[in-house]
Amino acid sequence: MKKQLITEADVLAAAKRGARSIPVDANTLLTPSAQEAVQRLHLELSRPVPGDQPPQSVKAVEVIAPEDKRGPNASKVIALGSDHGGFPLKLAIRKHLLELGYTVADVGTGSEQACDYPDFAFAVASLVASGQALRGIMIDAVGVASAIAANKVPGIRAAACVTEFAARSSREHNDANVLTLGGKVLGAEHAKAIVKVWLETWFGGGRHTGRVQKITDIERRFMK
């Protein structure tokens, strides 16, 4: 199996995204400078435990860099996935993300052949929760089902949005880190506008910080 090489630049990029750990396994190699960066930044090396492996129906993650690899968004990885109902819209959103200069980690699906949305919602959410992606976008027929699935992953705040206002609010008020869309209820241009607003809106902080913390506190009650 091909080894994954993690460099100092990868560690610095993960730290910039706010990650507290670097996911590694038996097939991961860290350069000496990467190991020094991990220690210097007080990060942890997290190894998978049984049950943390991606679903078998997600074969691989395709990482696609934007044309301008030195652009301001090139270091920002957006995890992207869909089921068969969201596949056509996923292709349009992937192209849109690359045009905006983001790096895309596409977890599938790769066709309109029937598949199960929880597998791909889990894959997108896992990349975000582990810090390997800054944010995630998951598309099924309506968007609600994938939000339900993604929100089962600790640390994920997924929001199904059908308007730009909802997308902006989910970021500014709720610090949503996964956006779910409906391929059967949104046109491509409308969906692209929602994605752009969602990616360009930052968490407002202030009074919203305590409310988001309460969401985290509720989650932690069931993680014991």
Q: Is 43 exposed, middle or buried (0-12, 13-18, 19+ CB in 10 A)?
A: middle
Closest of 99, 39, 40, 36 to residue 67, by C-alpha: 99
0.85 exceeded by the pTM? no
At residue 49, the pLDDT reads 52
Domains and CATH numbers, the chain: 4-46 (no CATH), 62-200 (3.40.1400.10)
At residue 1, the pLDDT reads 43
Angle ∠(215,145,74) on CA atoms, nearest 5: 75
- DSSP assigned state of 66: -
At residue 52, the pLDDT reads 53
CA atoms within 13 A on the CB side of 23: 13
- Over the Cα atoms of the chain, what is R_g? 17
Helix (H) or strand (E) holding 138: strand 135-140
Per-residue pLDDT of the chain in tens (224 residues, 90 and over written 9)? 444 668 888 888 888 877 777 887 766 777 777 788 888 888 888 766 545 555 546 767 889 999 998 899 999 999 999 999 999 999 999 999 999 999 999 999 999 999 999 999 999 999 999 888 999 999 999 999 999 999 999 999 999 999 999 999 999 999 999 999 999 999 999 999 999 999 999 999 999 999 999 999 999 888 76
At residue 120, the pLDDT reads 96
